[in-house]
Structure 1
Amino acid sequence: MNSKKIVEVTAAIIRKDNRFLCAQRKDSSEQGGKWEFPGGKIEDGETPEACLERELQEEFNIQAKCGNFLCENMHDYGNKIIKLKAYFVDHMQGNFKLLVHQDIKWLALDQIHELDWAEADLPIVNQLINDLK
């Protein structure tokens, strides 16, 4: 039996002018320097949608509205398993402030693969490219 902890997390696909928000984790954090779609851990009693809206407020000081579900995948990082749910998210208001990331980029679909993605986010990158081609 697998005794590893499964951590349920969310990822926001934010699109603006046909470019997608990509966020780089701080070098000092877990998966430091890797790129991800921003989001975070779902708290007890919280929906994935509410989690994303809260996390985007905490990470970038923006207001966002969660939209359609894109995909879900699981990735084993060795010490834990990440169950990642990705949703399209609309940026409603606020200027992006880097509160927990060291960088952000707005990239076109054909540029997204150039980044060094966190492994759990790679299936989302591939799904996005396949769905929007």
Structure 2
Amino acid sequence: MKSKKIIEVTAAIIRKGNRFLCAQRKDCSEQGGKWEFPGGKIEPNESPEQCLERELFEEFAIQSTCGKFLCENTHDYGDKIIKLKAYFVNHTEGDFQLLAHQQIQWLDIDKMQKLDWAEADLPIVDKLTSHYK
């Protein structure tokens, strides 16, 4: 039996006041329509922090700086295993453009829990909820 591929990915927790950036995947993409914290696959020779800054530029055309590590979650999607590392990120420059998502929302913790999240992101929502309640 072939072992599943483990894919290391990052997630950005971007906060404005009491609200957090939530991004909805395009319907035509994998996990289409699900909500996530934006980020992406860590490339070879790239740190998680460098990955987040690159991905946020590619997905939203913004500049950012990666901050503190929040948590890590491993989720088995059946065909692959996602190892997701979440970091707080500061948005430093640029207006958000939807280059990879169908919509974004800035939501407070209570409203975030009502979204249909990608399963790998759910523990991050729970961690934020316990941290900010």
User: If the length of structure 2 is used for normalisation, what is the TM-score?
Assistant: 0.98
Distance between the aligned counterparts of 2:2 and 2:73, measured in 1? Answer: 17
| 1:39-72 deviation per Cα after TM superposition (whole angstroms, max 9, x unaligned) | 0000001000000000000000000000000000
Identity across matched positions, percent: 74
Residue 90 of structure 2 aligns with an amino acid whose one-letter code is D
By how many angstroms is 1:120 displaced? Answer: 0.2
Equivalent residue of 1:114, what SS?
Answer: coil
By how many angstroms is 1:110 displaced? Answer: 1.2
Partner of 2:86: 86
User: If the length of structure 1 is used for normalisation, what is the TM-score?
Assistant: 0.98
Partner of 1:42: 42
Partner of 2:114: 114
RMSD value, Cα: 0.9
Aligned residues: 133
Partner of 2:7: 7
Partner of 2:96: 96
Moved over 4 A (4+): none
Stretches of structure 1 lacking an aligned partner (at least 5 in a row): none
| 1:62-121 deviation per Cα after TM superposition (whole angstroms, max 9, x unaligned) | 000000000001000000000000000000010000000000000011111010000000
Distance between the aligned counterparts of 1:78 and 1:88, measured in 2? Answer: 28
Distance between the aligned counterparts of 1:124 and 1:99, measured in 2? Answer: 23
